[in-house]
Structure 1
């Protein structure tokens, strides 16, 4: 656990390819997608919050604070990041926030450790995870002192592109290896977008148990 880091799970997507609704609450391996994410992510951070819009009551069983977007309209993942930065600034003494997506049940259990290590000694720096030569912008370390800049980026400039904001901040890329389960290679940032993805995640989950 890193007590200097607050964590936020981004679960505010519209899940169109899954037919709408909260895909993070779909069943996987006898639990919900979100349960798997929490089990891997919560031990890595000092405090954890959930980013989601609408009725927070549907997440009541998780015992997590739920933070809606603070930017009007559906501004995508960056709105959730900003909500998390504001929440951490108001409720914690953590100088950093790490984000994780709510539909990634196999996220690395050393995510926070490696992102923090990449920025050690570099004040105010950001770090983003990558794997297989691809960045994963929803898995990143954000210094709290970037929140005013992010608010201007979203509200004043109307820019919603996570990668564009990261480019502006000279974000450090941290590569995570492709993993192996029983001879099957998979990306630890594999996320659930479609029913076929959910079926594949179920197969991977069963392989982990076997």
Structure 2
């Protein structure tokens, strides 16, 4: 049983995007997968499943993190798509998860709150080893390098792979697909490398 949680201090940074892609790729490895949507109000992942229609993994809305975590022992992999804003439930999720992923964009408005959130989890005795940043919605590789240096100085781990801001990623998701299922092999491969790196990080 493995639990990977996606959290964010603010909306629109790619939390649900990454959670859905991980679910798609994990089921290809013959894992039983639960994608737990813990944002009742927006239900982003659950609504996406309605577009997808056919899926080999389960997506379910959970009113509380506790309820989602109780289901985890029924699956090889439980992916938690956390609330749109961090809350008391975030700490509970982080304490139980094997890996906690926080996506962040390039702006200070994204980075500073994101680092503060991980700082708060570390203060609450969540191990830094299971906290991982993923860079999303980037414009250039140089931008990625600058953010990676910032996070390195802050003392946090990050995936060496990242997501560029591409219309094709949005289009794929609008069609009930994941970012690893675009029409363009190059973009699809970049997304797959990122998702694979998340699973490899656990090893």
Q: TM-score w.r.t. structure 1 length?
A: 0.33
More strand by share: 1
Whose helix fraction is larger, Structure 1's or Structure 2's? 2
With the length of structure 2 as denominator, give the TM-score of the two structures: 0.34
Tell me which structure has the larger Cα radius of gyration. 1
